[in-house]
Amino acid sequence: MAEPEAFLAEPGDTREELMGATYRALCAHGYADLTVDRIAAEFSKSKSLIYHHYDGKDDLLLDFLEFSLKHFEAGLPFEEAATDPDDHLRRVLDHVLATSLPEERREFAAAMVELRAQAAHDDRYRDAFATHDRFFRDRFAAIIEAGQADGVYASDVDPEAVATTLVTLVNGSMNRHVTGDGEHAAAVRETIDDYLDDVLVAET
Amino acid sequence: MAEPEAFLAEPGDTREELMGATYRALCAHGYADLTVDRIAAEFSKSKSLIYHHYDGKDDLLLDFLEFSLKHFEAGLPFEEAATDPDDHLRRVLDHVLATSLPEERREFAAAMVELRAQAAHDDRYRDAFATHDRFFRDRFAAIIEAGQADGVYASDVDPEAVATTLVTLVNGSMNRHVTGDGEHAAAVRETIDDYLDDVLVAET
């Protein structure tokens, strides 16, 4: 399964190579100083090829965003076979609420935080991130529903509400790793585990 | 008490007027397209006066950020006299996890989300937001500690961990209001209330 650590290290075709060049330019310069020239400088093929496929920087960045979110989603351990929904949920949380981020994952998170901020003024970015949030929420909710069906989780909890809260925590945690300090993550996980143990897990 | 709704509507001096001009330019153009010329266009005094006080856009925006975070912090209902810590905590949450944001507060939140994203590549922004997060965490923790001292809240919960989780949720919620959809907020509050009722409130 693809991991953000190896994001586009081995591009399979021209589009993936251009996505890799966009990623490297975004990490190096940040969104505000990103230009097609700077992306082209990371790209082994010609700048005119970029303009052959894209109208310009905005068009390219939106394609990069959708590509990156799909890549990120594919790397999440949602689809792993799991006999125990509670164990599955905690393994997903281990992945998305890491207490420390290796440099490669921090760079990817920084790129996503910067692109996400563009949604403040651009509905196309907002739509892409709203879709991503729903993807995340639906998969969390499916695990919680499986736990309720198994009798592991309490039946009076709304899976969508819990899933929405987890998505909001993952968003806030990624944002704080990139824009604040990373020390929050262990405390967040401790509180979630208390919630899972004392509210979500059904009394036996 | 100052409210974001009335953010800088009645500036008291030249600095506040310039802060208001910066805010309006940031809301209108977004961070990436912000220039000193565009800030000056919102300012009743001369552009040279801006350069008299600031080295340039970066210097001005950092002062704006610190001014805005202090204004936001002063508007939070942390200091209100409260006899019941649990009631106090839920009133603060009513304020910072609003289920819908009036346009003025959404604009302010959007400006903060955009400035916060700059921390991905600028340690000065990162330091300002890390300080803001600690302000928030310390005040949440103080309410929870007061609840424990009163015997309202369970003594085996770590106030700093819960406070850190609440700060992370507030961050994620503000980010989602601005960059995704606002529908998450009621679900987040429902889950927090379940946590408060079933974990934080001491069994009697």
Model pLDDT for residues B85-125, shown as the tens digit of each residue: 999 999 999 999 988 888 888 888 999 999 999 999 899 99
R_g (Cα) of chain A, nearest Å: 19
Q: Which residue of B32, B116, B168 is in closest CB contact with A184?
A: B168
* Residue located via tokens 């003024």: A121
Neighbouring-strand partners of residue A201: A153
Given pLDDT bands bounded at 50, 70 and 90, which one contains residue A114? very high
pLDDT at residue B11 in the model: 82
Average pLDDT, chain B: 91
Tokens found for residue A175: 């944002």
Given pLDDT bands bounded at 50, 70 and 90, which one contains residue B31? confident
* Position A8 pLDDT exceeds 80: no
- Residues sharing a CB contact under 8 Å with residue B47, sequence separation 6 or more, in sequence order: B36, B37, B40
Mean pLDDT of A51-67: 95
**Residues of chain B contacting residue A120, judged by C-beta atoms under 8 Å apart:** 30, 110-111, 113-114, 178-179
Greatest C-alpha distance within chain B: 66
* Position B172 pLDDT exceeds 70: yes
Q: At what angle do helices A123-149 and B159-179 cross, to 10 degrees?
A: 130
The reported pTM is 0.92
> Residue A127, SS3?
helix
C-alpha distances (whole Å) from B111 to each of A37, A42, B116, B123, B149 are: 28, 31, 8, 18, 38
Q: What are phi and psi of A201, to 5 degrees?
A: -70, 130
Mean pLDDT of A27-45: 91
Mean pLDDT of B152-178: 96
Quote the CA–CA distance of A177 and B107 in Å, as a whole number.
Answer: 24
Residue of B nearest to A106 (CA): B120
CB of B179 closer than 8 Å to CB of B113: yes
pLDDT at residue B5 in the model: 45
DSSP class of residue B56?
A: S
**Residues of chain B contacting residue A133, judged by C-beta atoms under 8 Å apart:** 176, 180-181, 184
